[in-house]
Structure 1
Amino acid sequence: MWKLWPRIEFVILHFCVLAICGVLGGALWVQFVAGEYPCPLCILQRLAMILSAMGSIFVITHGHYARVQGFSVMGLGYGMSILAAVAGLFIATRQVLLHIQPGDPGYGSPVLGMHLYSWSVVVFLVVLLASGLMLIFGRTPILHCPTCHEKESPEESKMKYLRLRWYSWATFWIFGAIILINAFATFAESGFHAFLPDNPSSYRLFEK
């Protein structure tokens, strides 16, 4: 079991990134197809999800090392995910509390019985749980790669990075596309204004 664990962990990392992409893709569908504009808190939650996925990306790209610049690869990657999830959980909980009074319809339309910010709370809790479990059960690369502690030249490190499997690159491209679409959507909604309104109703970039 433990001999297979590094590969299982590798698959889980990709699944985590793609799961976040799926959640963000669903939010984009609600925005562009259902015509509901994300509020500033919604956008901050999206940003926190992106940052939490970057922790998994870091472990995928640096997983053949035990340490980077003296820091644990697993500690840096999963720590990044945990910090992003904590920030996102705080933001999502804040939005839930804004609409917690009886009779408050909430912001946006419910999806499967809950609003998107309520689903965000669930997503961030899952990220925290998954990151914690991976820190507990994740194996240091040096345990199954005895030569990982040896110093490598920059060229050797680059070749290891370039030898990532096709599904890793596909995951990166999907994740990158999600980031670009969200960046454009946010810019279109805010235009050249410094702040977004609490209840946006148009794409100010295209307003005359």
Structure 2
Amino acid sequence: MTQTRAITLNALSLYAVALVLAAAYAAQFILHELPCPLCLLQRILFAALAVGPILNIRFGPRPSHYAMSLLAAVAGAVASTRQVLLHIMPGDAGYGSALLGYHYYTWALIGFIAAVILIAVVMLFDRQFEDDHAALPATGGAFAQIAVWLVIALTATNVVTTLLECGFGACADNPLVYELLKPAA
């Protein structure tokens, strides 16, 4: 795999992260399901998963960049496994609605495990770490830059909505309202 192809693949991975974050927002705003603290942690870890591809697009592919994403994916798998285990008992309806029979945290676990496997496979291609002096701009071109800024925008929006939901204290275990938007009592 050439460096140019690796950068394109990293941009595609950013679009996948953006899709996950956008789907989480769809559940939050369309279905009016406020995310729990573990859900928020998983969103942050999906955003952290994007750090490696962003660095690869900006500075070229490096094993250390992939390693950062790999660590985020492992941490995300741990957090989502924790949530799956909280709701594994028979009769537990789970948290939030389900998509195709699985709750969002189960899909997050599948996504994080897939990310671990895909990152490991991509790292097997050593040629991407050699400078191929391709005609591709140093920042990966418009396709890659749109992906970078889309993930950054969704992450920034997540920070703002989390602040609105939790306020300046700990987030509620089962949030029902945006703490900073509720009327003063």
TM-score, normalised to structure 1's length? 0.82
**Greater shift in the superposed pair: 80-89 or 169-178:** 169-178
Q: Is the 8 A contact 2:11 2:148 kept in 1?
A: no
Q: Distance in 2 between matches of 1:117 and 1:142?
A: 38
- For residue 8 of structure 1, report the CA deviation from its aligned partner: 2.3
Aligned residue among 64, 71, 75 for 1:76: 64
Give the structure 2 partner of residue 123 of structure 1: 111
Q: SS at the partner of 1:89?
A: helix
Q: Is the 8 A contact 2:21 2:43 kept in 1?
A: yes
Which of the two has higher C-alpha Rg?
Answer: 1
Q: Is the 8 A contact 2:8 2:140 kept in 1?
A: no
Q: Is the 8 A contact 1:92 1:121 kept in 2?
A: yes
Q: Does 1:178 align with 2:154?
A: yes
Moved >4 Å (runs of 4+): none
Unaligned regions of 5+ residues in structure 2, if any?
none
Q: Distance in 1 between matches of 2:37 and 2:149?
A: 26
Alignment of 1:24-39 (within 5 A): 24-39=21-36
Q: Does 1:9 align with 2:6?
A: yes
Q: SS at the partner of 1:144?
A: coil
Q: Distance in 2 between matches of 1:138 and 1:20?
A: 24
Q: Is the 8 A contact 1:9 1:138 kept in 2?
A: no
Q: SS at the partner of 2:33?
A: coil
TM-score, normalised to structure 2's length? 0.92
Unaligned regions of 5+ residues in structure 1, if any?
64-72, 146-159
Q: Is the 8 A contact 2:76 2:112 kept in 1?
A: yes
Structure with greater contact order relative to length (CA < 8 Å, sep ≥ 6):
2
Q: Distance in 1 between matches of 2:130 and 2:103?
A: 44
Q: SS at the partner of 1:202?
A: coil
Q: Does 1:201 align with 2:176?
A: yes
Q: SS at the partner of 1:105?
A: coil
Q: Distance in 2 between matches of 1:123 and 1:189?
A: 25
**Equivalent pairs, count:** 181
Q: Distance in 2 between matches of 1:88 and 1:199?
A: 20
Across the aligned residues of Structure 1 and Structure 2, the Cα RMSD in angstroms comes to 1.7
Give the structure 2 partner of residue 188 of structure 1: 164
Q: Is the 8 A contact 1:39 1:198 kept in 2?
A: yes
Q: Distance in 1 between matches of 2:54 and 2:131?
A: 21
- For residue 138 of structure 1, report the CA deviation from its aligned partner: 4.1
Q: Distance in 2 between matches of 1:98 and 1:52?
A: 24
Whichever residue aligns with residue 135 of structure 1, its letter is M
Give the structure 2 partner of residue 103 of structure 1: 91
Whichever residue aligns with residue 167 of structure 1, its letter is F
Whichever residue aligns with residue 113 of structure 1, its letter is G
